[in-house]
Amino acid sequence: MSAKAVKAEIPSDGKSMNLARLTWPIFLEVFLFMLMGSVDTFMLSSVSDDAVSGVGAANQIITVAIIILEVIGNGAAIVVAQYLGSKKPAEAAQVTGNAITLNLTVGLVLSVVLLLLGKSILGILHVEGDILAYASSYLHIVGGAIFLQALINALAATIRTHGFTKETMAVSFLMNIIHVIGNYALIFGHFGLPALGVEGAAISTIGSRLICLLIFFWLLYRIMEVRVAWTYYVHLSKNFVLKILRIGIPAAMESLLYQTCQLVFTMYVTYLGAEAMATRQYALNISNYIYLFSMAVAVGTSIIVGHLIGAKRQNEAFSRVRSSVKGALLVTVLIDIIVILFREPLMGIFTDNPDIIRMGAQVLLLSLLLETGRTVNMIVIGSLRAAGDAKLPVYMGILSMVCMSLPVGYLFVFHLHLGLIGIWLAIALDEWTRAVIMLFRWRSRAWERYSLVDHEGAKAVPATATAAQ
């Protein structure tokens, strides 16, 4: 694709932003990202269940680090979307350059922290024995190179926001192919390479990320209507940085609260034994695919909403979110039913331990309750952020996740002795509590006063029959 052809497709005002066109590549991209985790789990299950549990524990810490990196990536994507919607591509380019530098700085700091303190953090989570050895090895390698993911986050978010979701999907596909080949070679020792087990999976992960990063940088300079000048990486604008942080910090805080609660739940599970830890990891891998479609719709909807808000087309943004929620809920229910019907064979893909299969099948029965609430949350909260209204999800996260789901989960697990079922029920209660509140917030239209773009002197774009559908 030539640079001229690429630029001709740039949806600068949101008019050509079509949800189906945006969503199917995002769906495949997220699917491929999740597939990478499942490939690790499947291949490492041949090593041992302890290896799977160790990598699962390490990945929860790595996930928290990635969420911190999303402070910049997510915030910048929303600011860029609104500037593109208001037809200000030069400002969008400067925001992009500033975001890349900021995320690289944060990523380098996190890499050092995980290298020096990773094993101590795992100890706090009550990870012990062989599981600790596997987790520590994986965390030092992947966590030590987390700065690569920092740059990937910033670049991929910006490229998607310009509407180039097919391109980010293609890069993800290539990254997965490289990762699978790397796993095969380094976990089991093929092509003349040593069999490194967990360490091999970690090396394969960072190798595929490095290649992905180089391609994203090349792609960035092919799609930008106004290129990112080198000075934008060096000279940070206080105005743009504050706008990025205004969205990014609350967004990351809400995600960080969620992952912190998941870490606490992990600590609960460690007291239930190694089989419970393995069961949770396998069930989470399956659950990831249930909300895959909803996640793609949420990302696509937030891109459209950002463009529409920048173009001052709030009525279309309001209708878009309502339609997205309805469609995603229908698909989520259908996928849930399929997973519930085949829950035991799905668990059998990962293990032949009958106790693990039985426990996993039990918690997957609750997916219909949990995933429908999660679907509403992902779409509505993402759209609120895209409109600039990012603080309320944090406040509700503190009340619902921290003050409600953790104590309720403790009650279910340790007093009512419900085991993993108790954790799934506590998370479902939190998801639906926040979902109802977020729907009321969107319907109130209070988000209309939080636009990030100064429209002074700009001509508003009237709502038309060509709403972004």
Paired tokens of 341: 């019907």
Paired tokens of 309: 């808000």
pTM score above 0.85? no
> DSSP code of 455?
-
Do 240 and 97 form a contact (C-beta atoms < 8 A)? no
Rounded CA separation 348/121 (Å): 32
Residue 405 sits at φ, ψ, to 5 deg, of -70, -40
CA 249 to chain centre: 15
Spell out the domain ranges in the chain.
13-446
Nearest to 143 by CA among 80, 201, 44, 58: 58
Do 232 and 96 form a contact (C-beta atoms < 8 A)? yes
3-state class of 390 per DSSP?
Answer: coil
Rounded CA separation 393/385 (Å): 9
Task: Please give the pLDDT value at position 111.
Answer: 92
Do 364 and 411 form a contact (C-beta atoms < 8 A)? no
Cα dihedral 264, 270, 276, 279, rounded to 10, equals: 60
Paired tokens of 375: 């679907």
Q: Which residue has the tokens 């917030």?
A: 441
Task: Please give the pLDDT value at position 79.
Answer: 84
Q: What is the mean pLDDT of each run of 10 residues along the chain (469 residues)?
A: 37 54 79 70 76 81 80 80 81 85 89 88 80 87 89 85 83 86 87 84 89 90 77 82 84 81 87 85 83 86 86 87 92 91 87 87 89 93 88 89 92 90 93 93 89 52 33
Residue 423 sits at φ, ψ, to 5 deg, of -65, -45
Task: Please give the pLDDT value at position 406.
Answer: 93
Do 434 and 377 form a contact (C-beta atoms < 8 A)? yes
Instruction: Name the burial class of residue 450, with classes exposed (0-12), middle (13-18) and buried (19+) by CB atoms within 10 angstroms of its CB.
Output: middle
- Return all residues near 203 (Cβ < 8 A) that are at least 6 apart: 141, 182, 186, 196
CA 154 to chain centre: 13
Rounded CA separation 134/148 (Å): 22
Rounded CA separation 7/383 (Å): 26
Paired tokens of 287: 């659950």
Alpha carbon distances (Å) from 60 to 29, 172, 406? 21, 21, 17
Which alpha helices (H) appear in 128-237, and where do they start and end? 129-144, 146-161, 165-188, 198-223, 230-234
Rounded CA separation 360/441 (Å): 35
